[in-house]
Amino acid sequence: MKLPLGYRYAATYAGIRKVNKEDLALIVSDTPASAAAVMTTNRVQAAPVKIARQHLRASRGRVSAILANAGNANCATRTGDEVAIACCKAVAKLLKVPVAQVIPASTGVIGVELDPSLIVNALPRLMEDLTESRFPDVSHAIMTTDLVPKVAFAEVPLKGGEVQIAGMTKGSGMIQPNMATTLGFVMTDAAISPIHLREMLVRASERSFNRLSVDGDTSTNDIVMLLANGASGIKPSERERRTLEESLYLVMEDLAEQIARDGEGATKLITIRVLGAVDEESATRIARSIANSPLVKTAIAGSDPNWGRILSAAGNAGVEFDPMKVDISLNGVPVCTGGLAAEFSEADLKQKLDERECMIRFEIKGGGKGETRFWTCDFTEGYIKINASYRS
């Protein structure tokens, strides 16, 4: 994989988490990059989310650095805003850029004061370590209960040459669309204005991160940032921006799927495909209702083809449809035809459901053209174990 030009990365252990594992990361663009962000819709917003919004506005969508930490969400604390600003200022001073060009991002526990000196003291170390090749280190540093780092890449050939997209994200609980939890950072070396970048990001998020649910909880800290620094020297035409957006979407879809696969306690990736709804939004509502049903997710965990729960969950989506026109299949095996039980071999299907991936296909026959894809994971005792003692 090739990385986009003109970005450098570093990560270190600053002592924010209890365990000695990288918890502070810096992404620097050598020249101020165009930037766009989508952020949590939670009414409770962490300080870094608020400051990120202010900085993006003040800098008119120009970003030189992203400073991210794990282990503390810097949310619901006395000093949240001050801490976020102080850290951004320290980065700005070292990089000699305006403070509004530094974006903070945090993930971790809510309601615990974050000591800014931990971060400020670690910054010189980070600065020294900045190199193009430390992209993976940053993807490790933002992990919380994630088991694996999550990265995705695309090379996009355009008339003037090739541009690169590289993305990283973290999961893996408190994940539900609008936004999925997560910190997500996507870099490209194409030259794109902040306005166009924002349009691309909003549309690509809608079909990727916003079609993802692990547990139906939307975090206070969600932010996905897209940077475009133009270091490739290539400025896509209007048509080429569409090509680039498609690649961006594939990168973000890949990241979203990786979050679902690594959901807390998950043993299976569940992909939900809904077809035949009135429109895409109705299809997505049905898919989300299925994805958020603990009864569906526990059945899949147990390799139980309990399609009645899928039909019932769809019925709770607040979308009109005729249950007698619904076909459901699991990993390609029809389990419900016209709203009624289909004939299938329980033993064979159980074996298929023991695999690491489950595809739920829900089609309304003779319905509209609305369709969607949505990602979630099964719901296991592991999720309970992880979350019954997250703080301790």
82-111 residues near a copy of itself, rule: CB under 8 A: 109-111
- How far apart (Å, rounded) are the C-alpha atoms in residues 253 and 53? 24
Which is catalytic among the residues 181, 218, 284, 372? Answer: 181
321-360 residues near a copy of itself, rule: CB under 8 A: 321, 323, 336, 339-341
Question: Number of C-alpha atoms within 13 angstroms, CB side, residue 392?
Answer: 5
174-203 residues near a copy of itself, rule: CB under 8 A: 174, 176
Nearest distance in Å: CB 333, a copy of itself = 15
Site map (CB under 8 A) of a copy of itself, residues 212-231, x = contact: ---xxxxxx-----------
Among 3, 86, 112, 333, binds a copy of itself (CB under 8 A): 112
Nearest distance in Å: CB 383, a copy of itself = 7
Residues 6+ positions from 178 with CB-CB distance below 8 Å: 41, 210, 218
Applying CB under 8 A, does 139 fall inside the site for a copy of itself?
no
Nearest distance in Å: CB 257, a copy of itself = 21
Contact 110, 220 (CB under 8 A): yes
Contact 37, 64 (CB under 8 A): no
* Three-class secondary structure of residue 188 per DSSP: strand
Among 5, 295, 333, 359, binds a copy of itself (CB under 8 A): 295
- How far apart (Å, rounded) are the C-alpha atoms in residues 204 and 211? 11
- How far apart (Å, rounded) are the C-alpha atoms in residues 280 and 267? 29
Residue 50 or 196: the one with the smaller Cβ distance to a copy of itself is 50
22-51 residues near a copy of itself, rule: CB under 8 A: 41-45
Among 128, 281, 348, 381, binds a copy of itself (CB under 8 A): 381
* Three-class secondary structure of residue 245 per DSSP: helix
The owner of tokens 């569906």 is: 296
Among 98, 160, 315, 334, binds a copy of itself (CB under 8 A): 315
Q: Which run of H or E residues covers position 92? A: helix 80-95
Give the pair of three-digit tokens for residue 219: 């975090």
What DSSP character marks residue 314?
Answer: H
54-73 residues near a copy of itself, rule: CB under 8 A: 73
Stretch that binds a copy of itself, among 234-242, 271-279, 292-300, 354-362 (CB under 8 A): 292-300
Active site residue 181: yes
Applying CB under 8 A, does 20 fall inside the site for a copy of itself?
no
What DSSP character marks residue 305?
Answer: -
- How far apart (Å, rounded) are the C-alpha atoms in residues 189 and 84? 27
Applying CB under 8 A, does 392 fall inside the site for a copy of itself?
yes
Q: Between vectors from CA 38 to CA 68 and to CA 235, what angle results, nearest 5°?
A: 90
Residues 6+ positions from 58 with CB-CB distance below 8 Å: 100
Nearest distance in Å: CB 362, a copy of itself = 12
Nearest distance in Å: CB 212, a copy of itself = 15
Give the pair of three-digit tokens for residue 178: 């609008």
Residue 58 or 384: the one with the smaller Cβ distance to a copy of itself is 384
The sign one gets for the Cα dihedral 362, 368, 373, 375 is: negative
Among 314, 349, 353, 377, binds a copy of itself (CB under 8 A): 314
Applying CB under 8 A, does 116 fall inside the site for a copy of itself?
no
The sign one gets for the Cα dihedral 205, 207, 209, 213 is: positive
Residues that bind a copy of itself (CB under 8 A): 41-45, 73, 75-78, 109-113, 173-174, 176, 215-220, 292-295, 298-299, 301-302, 304, 306-309, 311-317, 319-321, 323, 336, 339-341, 379-381, 383-385, 387-392
The residues annotated with a catalytic role in the active site are: 181
